Amino acid sequence: MEVKCISKERVMPYGKKAFSPALTIGKTYIVIEISCGESSGLDYRLIDDDSDNSALYFFSQFEVVDARLSSYWVADVSKDGIYLSPKEWSDLGFWEKFYDGEEKEVSIFKETVKKILGEWE
């Protein structure tokens, strides 16, 4: 899925606002995961301007340029929400280990992102 940034501002629950300085208005980004949770709403995970990793951004900050879904995504439905992401990322504890810098998870993440981005070349 490819999206174009239309806003750096995210309206959080209860009207609180957040600003996303690592995005560029008008720039397109490849969505590497979609998550939808009761408390967080609909988010896109993408590689932003300041990161080699990823971050979650609220869907209303973007307009969809190309709605094709990655062939590497699977649906994961849990009590926390619905996620469209690579199967490896849905393994229990993946994100905690990834953010702790564990080599295996970092490698899986980088390899999978490369595959997803390759679908858009």
CB 117 within 8 A of CB 1: no
pLDDT at 12: 66
- Alpha helices (runs of H) in 1-121, residue ranges in sequence order: 94-99, 103-118
pLDDT digit string (tens) for 102-121? 999 999 999 999 999 999 88
Percent over 90 (pLDDT), the chain: 65
CA–CA separation, 104 vs 94, rounded Å? 10
DSSP 8-state secondary structure symbol assigned to residue 55: E
Average pLDDT score, the chain:
90
CB 72 within 8 A of CB 114: no
Of 16 and 93, the one with more pLDDT: 93
CB 5 within 8 A of CB 30: no
Give mean pLDDT, residues 72-93: 91
pLDDT digit string (tens) for 53-78? 788 899 999 999 999 999 999 999 98
Report the 10 Å Cβ neighbour count for 120: 12
pLDDT at 16: 73
pLDDT tier for residue 91 given thresholds of 50, 70 and 90: confident
pLDDT digit string (tens) for 18-59? 788 899 999 999 999 999 987 778 999 999 998 777 888 999
Question: Domain coordinates of the chain in residue numbers?
Answer: 2-118
